[in-house]
Structure 1
Amino acid sequence: MSTPINGNDLIALGYTEGAILGIALKINRGRNGFNREQMMEHYAAVLASPEDYLDHKVFAKLAVAMIEKANEKPEDFIALNENPDAYSVYGADYIEEGAQKQMQVAMKLPVTVAGALMPDAHQGYGLPIGGVLATKNAIIPYGVGVDIGCRMALSVYDIPEDFYYENEHKFKRELIAHSKFGAGHGFTGQYKSDHLVLQDAGFDTNPFIKNLKDKAWSQLGTSGGGNHFVEFGIMEFEKDDAILNIPKGRYVALLTHSGSRGFGATIAGHYTKLAKDVCKLPEVAQNLAYLDLNSDLGQEYWIAMNLAGDYASACHEIIHNKMERALGATVLAKVENHHNFAWKEMYNGEEVIVHRKGATPAAEGVMGIIPGSMTAPGFLVRGKGEANALNSASHGAGRQMSRTQAIKNITKNDMKAILKDHGVTLIGAGLDEAPMAYKDINLVMASQQELVDVVAKFTPKMVRMADDGSRED
């Protein structure tokens, strides 16, 4: 079997990153009658003379796109600001160049007011993950992210640490019984959950949203794939916390991470495509296409985004309620925050739209949860309200390896060894979620001391993730 043609192969021929490269790679995915060598010859030829391929059965679409691009003029696009304002960066030493370049592009948008980059930042689509961007009356679907309303939720129980170690089998049984994972997976029939969110008027916004209601119902109370998890751990309060009314001590806690499942992902894809149709930005900024909040499309997306956020919250609520009943425990405190969302907030005396794509809200006194990895601690924090960070903090440790790199470089034995060293029981997960794929959470936390105060530390003990490490569709 020949080696598949990838982006680097085409770049070596003279293609550049962007929409043209995407179209070229898509051609190569299906059977088309050519072998690898013949495909490469055609790729080179169409690049040199696209007009010769306008009627070609395989390469016509690529040829048309190349000719259209060659005839584009600057006036066909919304101009970017060539002298953007500076933005604050926290933990710059730990942030890859690609994420910083994406943030620099975001700062050039004509609707941008301010921005900040969190210490867990890494490259994504449009706005980098860990990017915070304030805009004037505009909403960027890829500034919110694909997993709209993705969030953390924490329940601290009145269960002492020792009880966990004496009853690990019980916690494992309940974790398996009351959580469900995997991209596209949901419940059927009598196993479906119910929640008031399904009665939200937002589902009647338009036929597109209405047609997603059944998918939302089936996946209600599930966690999806990727880096989503449901886990038990030990929560340590080194001193009394008067605000939460929790005495100093070590407690069993439940921590969950997931978002709006296929419902939110479908909304994100749909409105990003519509935004690109009405907001013609230069290619370098195309994934930052935005919608005017005064437009019908802008209002549709705003309603859909908020509905997806409420839906994500409902999923966590169902999981936590099931676990509370199963354990027969009393919850001492519940904390929840989302980190793929946009909010209307005040900045320098004017209302702006603050996008936090993989960033935790951290206004003064606001509680949040910043996880590490399946073996590294997470932290319950209280925001300090740092204006330069747009009242934000990191949403986790952040990846230092892509999923592909992790699968290539980390073995199952490596993963088993680190889990054993930390006394963590793992149910599911692929090598792409191995602890070594993530940055050092302690370095990340040290980089944002001016953004949050640590209230308590969470040490993972039993983690469940998607069996195959699958990502949401």
Structure 2
Amino acid sequence: MSKLNITAKELRAIGFPESPVIPVAMSVAEKHFKHNKKEDVMKTLQAVLASPANYTKDAVLGAIADKLLPKTEIGEPEISLNTTGAPFNTFGAEHIEQGAFHQMYTAVKIPVAIAGALMPDAHHGYGLPIGGVLATNNAVIPYGVGVDIGCRMCLSIFDVDAKELTQREAFFAREIGEATLFGSGAQFVKPANHEIMEHEAFYQLPILKALQGRAWRQLGSSGSGNHFVEFGAVTITEQDATLGVAPGNYVGLLSHSGSRALGANIAQHYTKLAISKRRLPQEAKNLAWLNMNEQEGQEYWIAMNLAGDYASACHHIIHAKIAKQLGRQPIKMVENHHNFAWKEIWEGREVIVHRKGATPAGKDVLGIIPGSMTADGFIVKGKGETASINSASHGAGRKMSRTQALSSITHHALQEALKKHGVKLLGGGLDEAPFAYKDIQAVMQSQTSLVDVVGKFTPKIVKMCGAETNQWRKPKKGENAFVAGE
């Protein structure tokens, strides 16, 4: 029997957070499960990840569970959940798995919850479900925002005939490859300059100062997982005053990524602080909050906003590089973010709205909701629907976990789908295959009361993190090297 080999990338793919848990999980697997089938071991590790509290007393798996569960200071009284939760509305319930519902039921019972909403792309996550929206009273929940703080979509529309994407495919593919780096730990040798790196917040908070150097080296990189940069055909069929783009066919550059290691470290740091200050029942532990009138809450708000601005800067750098190579500026840029918290007025009062994997959809607010590597995405305009707390889905949403996708989707099936839709894929893996995602058309149909569609984006050349981008290699002359997976 061959030696069991489980990589850090594979553990991240099924949802394991960064160190220190990944090295522990790899060590436990190699020591105690070396004669087991890899598929069975991955299922066991996924079970621990889903419910670490169930394994704390396990002689073997307890070491992993201990690293997954944030430490709580002894002596803090436990805060009880409300018996009746705050109200929340669901859109597209038929598309949503039960795990997401259970998480939302728990979230609306925390004492600071005012209202919630569940988007049609929702699925199980940490704390607040992905696709979950929660309004709170003067409190911010770090895990209600998420790890990839300020993750966003950015679309540049160029007055270029979309036919060029086929006629000059090699040119456009090359420009994506030269504009950014993919890979979990990707870092530039010669990073771009941007004013965000001199933001005063880097000098206000020690945690941010310590992260500044790495953040600079990752500025303009794109990460891994479901993050992408792609060219596609933009179709505008009717004039819309808010979008301001005449009907026609254009070349679109669409990117999706977040705040890289900066956001992840901020999330982990302040989640631990929140948990130490507010002990909640086990099922609600990751919903611990920080009050906005206490120092930690104010610090997190500063750090979160910096991470959001940093994520935006990463996109703007990528788009500026490509615009320069195209020799023209976009006629329109549309950008929106999720995994964030906003101070908003809702039903006459100020609340803090957490949108974890949900798109802001206030009245006439523009956004982009992508499908998959082969499915159309949509340029949308919010309707300002109070029932959804001015929110919409942030994509199609997964219907398969990464592990399920890797075990059930074949390379042949993926290649056939790409060929059918005329998509050139650069990198990318089976875990991001279109079959792993819900039907974007069905998702959009479930939220017609939340957004109007004002344009369509059809993917043609898609760049994602593939296996080759997470491995060490010597850079070619003039090429940026990067540090691989961490």
Q: Tell me: CA distance 1:402–1:33, structure 2 relative to 1, closer, same or farther (3 Å).
A: closer
Displacement of 1:35 = 8.5
Q: Corresponding residue for 1:124?
A: 125
Residue 346 of structure 2 corresponds to residue 347 of structure 1: yes
Q: Tell me: CA distance 1:109–1:178, structure 2 relative to 1, closer, same or farther (3 Å).
A: same
* Counterpart secondary structure, 1:211: helix
* Counterpart secondary structure, 1:213: helix
Q: Corresponding residue for 2:391?
A: 392
Partner Cα separation in structure 2 for residue 367 and residue 461 of structure 1: 23
Are the aligned partners of 2:202 and 2:208 in contact in 1 as well (CA < 8 Å)?
yes
In the alignment, structure 2 segments of 5+ residues that lack a partner are 5-20, 37-43, 45-53, 471-483
* Counterpart secondary structure, 2:150: coil
Instruction: After TM superposition, list the pairs within 5 Å mapping 1:55-70 onto structure 2.
Output: none
Instruction: After TM superposition, list the pairs within 5 Å mapping 1:122-271 onto structure 2.
Output: 122-188=123-189, 191-271=190-270
Partner Cα separation in structure 2 for residue 289 and residue 253 of structure 1: 40
Q: Deviations over 1:105-137 (max 9, x none)?
A: 000000000000000000000000000000001
* Counterpart secondary structure, 2:28: coil
Partner Cα separation in structure 1 for residue 255 and residue 27 of structure 2: 39
Partner Cα separation in structure 1 for residue 223 and residue 61 of structure 2: 37
Partner Cα separation in structure 1 for residue 106 and residue 298 of structure 2: 25
Partner Cα separation in structure 2 for residue 355 and residue 218 of structure 1: 29
Q: Corresponding residue for 1:452?
A: 451
Q: Tell me: CA distance 1:83–1:26, structure 2 relative to 1, closer, same or farther (3 Å).
A: same
* Counterpart secondary structure, 1:77: coil
Q: Corresponding residue for 1:13?
A: none
Partner Cα separation in structure 2 for residue 259 and residue 440 of structure 1: 24
Partner Cα separation in structure 2 for residue 290 and residue 35 of structure 1: 40
Partner Cα separation in structure 2 for residue 411 and residue 275 of structure 1: 43
Residue 388 of structure 2 corresponds to residue 382 of structure 1: no
Q: Deviations over 1:410-468 (max 9, x none)?
A: 01111111000000000001110000000000000000000000000100000000122
Q: Deviations over 1:32-87 (max 9, x none)?
A: 689889xx9xxxxxx99x7xx9xx9x89989999xxx9xx99x9310100111331
Instruction: After TM superposition, list the pairs within 5 Å mapping 1:54-133 onto structure 2.
Output: 76-133=77-134
Asked which structure has the greater CA Rg, the reply is 1
In the alignment, structure 1 segments of 5+ residues that lack a partner are 5-21, 41-46
Q: Corresponding residue for 1:465?
A: 464
Residue 432 of structure 2 corresponds to residue 433 of structure 1: yes
**Normalized against structure 2, the TM-score is what?**
0.83
* Counterpart secondary structure, 2:461: strand
RMSD of aligned Cα (Å): 3.0
Q: Deviations over 1:126-173 (max 9, x none)?
A: 000000000001111110001000000000001012222221121111
* Counterpart secondary structure, 1:352: strand
Q: Corresponding residue for 1:275?
A: 274
Q: Deviations over 1:252-310 (max 9, x none)?
A: 11000000001111111111111111110000100111111111111111111000000
Q: What is the one-letter code of the residue matched to 2:171?
A: K
Percent identity, please.
Answer: 55
Are the aligned partners of 1:152 and 1:257 in contact in 2 as well (CA < 8 Å)?
yes
Are the aligned partners of 2:423 and 2:462 in contact in 1 as well (CA < 8 Å)?
yes
Displacement of 1:26 = 5.4
Displacement of 1:243 = 3.0
Are the aligned partners of 2:242 and 2:364 in contact in 1 as well (CA < 8 Å)?
no
Q: Tell me: CA distance 1:232–1:109, structure 2 relative to 1, closer, same or farther (3 Å).
A: same
* Counterpart secondary structure, 1:76: coil
Q: Corresponding residue for 1:44?
A: none
Partner Cα separation in structure 1 for residue 312 and residue 275 of structure 2: 29
Q: Corresponding residue for 1:308?
A: 307
Q: What is the one-letter code of the residue matched to 2:263?
A: G
Q: Tell me: CA distance 1:472–1:281, structure 2 relative to 1, closer, same or farther (3 Å).
A: farther
Displacement of 1:329 = 2.4
**Normalized against structure 1, the TM-score is what?**
0.86
Instruction: After TM superposition, list the pairs within 5 Å mapping 1:321-340 onto structure 2.
Output: 321-340=320-339
Q: What is the one-letter code of the residue matched to 2:373?
A: M
Partner Cα separation in structure 1 for residue 419 and residue 64 of structure 2: 51
Q: Tell me: CA distance 1:335–1:34, structure 2 relative to 1, closer, same or farther (3 Å).
A: closer
Are the aligned partners of 1:261 and 1:472 in contact in 2 as well (CA < 8 Å)?
no
* Counterpart secondary structure, 1:161: coil
Q: What is the one-letter code of the residue matched to 1:422?
A: H
Partner Cα separation in structure 2 for residue 287 and residue 86 of structure 1: 20
Are the aligned partners of 2:25 and 2:64 in contact in 1 as well (CA < 8 Å)?
no
Q: Tell me: CA distance 1:64–1:155, structure 2 relative to 1, closer, same or farther (3 Å).
A: closer
Displacement of 1:244 = 3.0
Partner Cα separation in structure 2 for residue 364 and residue 286 of structure 1: 34
Q: Corresponding residue for 2:372?
A: 373
Displacement of 1:175 = 1.3
Q: Tell me: CA distance 1:266–1:387, structure 2 relative to 1, closer, same or farther (3 Å).
A: same
Q: Corresponding residue for 2:15?
A: none
Q: What is the one-letter code of the residue matched to 1:249?
A: G
Q: Tell me: CA distance 1:27–1:223, structure 2 relative to 1, closer, same or farther (3 Å).
A: closer
Partner Cα separation in structure 2 for residue 419 and residue 63 of structure 1: 39
